[in-house]
Amino acid sequence: MAIDLTKKDQSLFGNDFKTINKDLQGNILKSHGRGHTSHIFFCFKPNKVAEAKAFLKGLAITSAAQQAKDSEATKADGVQRLFTGLYLTGACYQYLGVSDAKTPADSQFRSGMKASAGSLNDTPSAWESGYQGDIHGMILLAMGGTDRKNLDVETKAVSDNLQKIASVVATEKGDGIKNANDDDIEHFGYVDGISQPRFFIEELNPDRATVWNPAFSWDLILVDDPAGKTNAFGSYFVFRKLEQNVKGFKDAEAALGNELFPGASDEAKELAGAMLVGRFENGMPVILSDKDDSINGHDVFAGFIGKLNDFTYDGDTQGAKCPFHSHIRKTNPRGDSSRQFGVSLESEMRHTMARRGIIYGKRKQNAKTKELEDQPTAGVGLLFMSFQQNIATQFEFIQQSWANNDNFVKGSTGGDGIIGQGITSGGMHQYPRVYGDASTIATANTQFQDFVTTKGGEYFFAPSLSGIKAL
């Protein structure tokens, strides 16, 4: 019987998941969770179709079922296990001669990311050379543990094999960094990966979620794989290499702190960065507190802060606590667009994606305090990755209609200060000088833009295992 993807409250141990999880790739409904990754981007050589098909069919892709088994086994014996994912482009389906009916239908997927450059304000001619030409696929290899030695050995083996029939056009290495609370952080120093759509009841904590419920049905990110058997599902996958100018950002963050809160302590000035991102560095949502360690005067545990996700912006219709251009308010307005444009909360939430990014590039980190001690201007960033069921209405909508839009959610509030591209916010970003007091909101001289630069990217499909075998 066909599985109903619109059902909510699915269980990791339920029959529906058992029906699909041996054929569905891992890392889609649930992250593979490993701290080191390799991303091998390739383009098959001309006239190698039969060899290409044989290569793809021979890859030991990690299914969702295998991923769960492996993580149990690693918990028990401490041995790190390799995760392998495979993502193919529309150009690859064409190269392989897959019929129209068996090729995933999403039109952005079929035409590729470069075709959307105009609407995303991308400049592919300035991308790294490997991303400028055709890409047929990406192999994701991932491993946990303290270093990436074994992963590098596996990466070389796969690359060597692949190069007999394909050009490896780019290889990226992702290596997670944790803060003193053991939470994953990105290069600007902020905890990332807190807010995610949740697809299993086991991932929800109902007594904490009172105003924001992150439970979604599987159809938020899964679609039928037209090449696979019954109940074969895949997901559209977006990859973007986003370079971060850490020094530029940190200098601007400090300047904003001095501008908004002159004379305040360094600690109090942290509120400026929190207003730009929407969370303090440790993950505390700025909508809930003007301090990173207490809510309404009550201390909050470090381990708890990094999971705080139970909030909306309902009580902050002026942006007096969390400005409208802050990154997390732009990329998940939690009801702002319903309030402003009468769109239902349910349809606003359908723009959500499952984010699976990891950071790249080396940093100097104090082994004891975990403080990041250097401030590179290039060579570090985020390998942004997301799964969705529709690239136009999810990734592209968020980037284009929210992040790049100076007039969302209110007119002239400016684009997203972190990822807005081609924004004309010069002079638009506004902040309160007193937390929560709308009468103190005024435009700031310090403006944020262009500290994140897109270096390349592509749209892919993560096929089912039976879909790969049927190629």
List of residues contacting ligand N7H (CB under 6 A): 186, 188, 190, 192-195, 242, 244, 277, 279, 327-328, 331-332, 381-382, 384, 395, 398-399, 403, 418-419, 452
Which of 52, 275 has the CB closer to ligand N7H?
A: 275
Angle, vertex CA 465, rays to CA 463 and CA 467, nearest 5: 60
Q: How far apart are CA 3 and CA 12, in angstroms?
A: 15
**Cis status of the peptide bond prior to 343, with omega within 30 of 0:** no
Which of 278, 432 has the CB closer to ligand N7H?
A: 278
Which of 158, 358 has the CB closer to ligand N7H?
A: 358
User: 62: number of CA atoms within 13 Å, CB side?
Assistant: 22
Q: How far is the CB of 375 from ligand N7H (least distance, A)?
A: 14
**273: which 2 tokens?**
């960065």
Q: How far apart are CA 416 and CA 40, in angstroms?
A: 30
Phi-psi region of 64 (alpha: psi -120 to 50; beta: other; left: phi over 0): alpha
Distance of CA 433 to the CA centre of its chain: 31
Helix (H, G, I), strand (E, B) or coil at 131: helix
**242: which 2 tokens?**
């986003």
Which of 70, 183 has the CB closer to ligand N7H?
A: 183
The tokens 């349910």 sit on which residue?
346
Q: How far is the CB of 132 from ligand N7H (least distance, A)?
A: 20
**Cis status of the peptide bond prior to 434, with omega within 30 of 0:** no
Which of 96, 242 has the CB closer to ligand N7H?
A: 242
DSSP conformation class of 27: T
Q: How far is the CB of 191 from ligand N7H (least distance, A)?
A: 6
Which of 225, 396 has the CB closer to ligand N7H?
A: 396
Q: How far is the CB of 335 from ligand N7H (least distance, A)?
A: 12
Q: How far apart are CA 26 and CA 83, in angstroms?
A: 8
Which of 42, 280 has the CB closer to ligand N7H?
A: 280
Q: How far apart are CA 304 and CA 412, in angstroms?
A: 35
Over its C-alpha atoms, the chain yields an Rg (Å, rounded) of: 22
Which of 23, 253 has the CB closer to ligand N7H?
A: 253
Which of 34, 279 has the CB closer to ligand N7H?
A: 279
Q: How far is the CB of 403 from ligand N7H (least distance, A)?
A: 6
Q: How far is the CB of 195 from ligand N7H (least distance, A)?
A: 3
Q: How far apart are CA 6 and CA 386, in angstroms?
A: 20
Q: How far is the CB of 249 from ligand N7H (least distance, A)?
A: 8
**220: which 2 tokens?**
């938020």
**359: which 2 tokens?**
């950071």
Q: How far is the CB of 179 from ligand N7H (least distance, A)?
A: 12
Q: How far is the CB of 246 from ligand N7H (least distance, A)?
A: 10
Other C-beta atoms lying within 10 Å of the C-beta of residue 171:
16
Helix (H, G, I), strand (E, B) or coil at 236: strand
